[in-house]
Amino acid sequence: MTFAQRFGSALNCNPHFHSLLLDGVFNTKNNIFHQAPPLTDEDVKEIVETTACRVIRMLERRGVLDENEYDELAEEQPVLAGMTSASIIGLVSIGERAGQRVRKVLQDPAEAVKTGHLCFASRGFSLHAATRIAGGNKQGLENLCNYVARPPLAAGSLQRISDDEYSFKLKTPWSDGTTHLILSPNELIEKLAALVPPPRLNLVRYHGVLAPHSKIRSVVVPKKPDAKELEKTRGKSKNRFLWAALLARTFNLQMKICTHCGGKMRMVAAITDSASIKKYLDGVGLPSEPPMPMPARPPPQEEFDYYFEGA
């Protein structure tokens, strides 16, 4: 399974892929899974070098990569400031090639550089293959799937600090000590717009025996549990989870076991009358009045700016 992600940890556009692979092969004659030996550094090195070479060659063949195209400087500055800024971002600031990137010489195939255990980088491509989940570890597999399929904005990472500013908390502080990014509403929309994938593009792809049209997919993918197992988490409909199961899965709230005495809980009654609900909440010391809704606010930009070209 491959998850295509377009975002980095700083709301930047950073296309990359997270792949979950079966570390072995299935024997179609007896439907037995044969586990592969553990990966080595030489295996990862060979994979990243081969991938970098083939992808770059494919992009060049399709005309996507053009060594003569370079970005121009965003703004004009004094000579010394321009030279300093160009040095930082890898541009040339003076001469005939001013505003273009420093030319590079790429060796093909490039020797991959080891960056960690089972981690290598080559020609702008990096491969991290040090994460492995043992068979039967369903909780570890679920945690890994939650990570590789995570959204660009984590819960609580974005906060509104004023009418004109938002604060975005970085996942890990930068080397210069930066912990948050301050964005205006327009800057935030600009960042999010760059992360929206093209229309009708599947961000989750299935390969091999997990592909939809694989001949042995029914043998590999676990079958649905029987009726007795479904009754534990499903109601009358087999396609919907019970509220107790959803609360336990999402918020880690055990609705069937008492957290104080450890005894088994059961449903006594479902109260829907507003007067009875208020009486019960008041009796146990909980607020019975709903919170007041926040007043509506106008959008940050009430008028559109129109620009006309020509005479």
What pLDDT is attached to residue 50? 92
Q: pLDDT category, 15, cuts 50, 70, 90?
A: confident
Q: DSSP class of residue 9?
A: T
Supply 85's token pair: 């800024």
What's the CA gap between 43 and 117, in Å, rounded?
12
The pLDDT score that the predictor gives to residue 2 is: 93
Structure tokens at 269: 């009654």
pLDDT of residue 98: 64
- Would you state the pLDDT for residue 184? 87
Supply the mean pLDDT for the chain: 77
Single-letter amino acid, residue 216: I
pLDDT at residue 72, rounded to an integer: 39
Given a contact cutoff of 8 angstroms between Cβ atoms, the answer to whether 126 and 115 are in contact is yes
The answer to whether 29 touches 229, Cβ cutoff 8 Å, is no
With a CB cutoff of 8 Å and minimum separation 6, the contacts of 34 are 24, 25, 26, 27
More confident residue, 142 or 108: 142
pLDDT at residue 96, rounded to an integer: 63
Q: Residue 191: which residues within 8 A CB-CB, separation 6 or more?
A: 11, 12, 183
pLDDT digits (tens, 9 = 90+) for 192-210: 888 888 888 888 999 888 8
106 against 173, higher pLDDT: 173
Among residues of the chain, what percentage have pLDDT more than 70?
77
Which pLDDT tens digit goes with each residue over 255-305? 777 777 878 877 777 788 888 888 888 988 888 888 888 777 776 665 655
Calpha distance 161→43 (Å, rounded): 48
CA 207 to chain centre: 19
Q: DSSP code of 210?
A: G
Percent of the chain scoring above 90 in pLDDT: 6
Given a contact cutoff of 8 angstroms between Cβ atoms, the answer to whether 168 and 158 are in contact is yes
Q: Looking at residue 311, what is its pLDDT? A: 42
Given pLDDT bands bounded at 50, 70 and 90, which one contains residue 231?
low
Q: What is the pLDDT of residue 229?
A: 65
**Mean pLDDT value of segment 170-198:** 83
Residue 175 falls in which region: left (phi positive, over 0), alpha (psi -120 to 50) or beta: alpha
- 42 pLDDT tier (thresholds 50, 70, 90): very high
Per-residue pLDDT reduced to its tens digit, 48-72:
999 988 988 898 888 777 655 433 3
Q: What share of the chain is helix, strand, coil (3-state, %, to 5)?
A: 30, 20, 55
Does pLDDT of 107 surpass 60? no
Give me the pLDDT at residue 302, please.
59
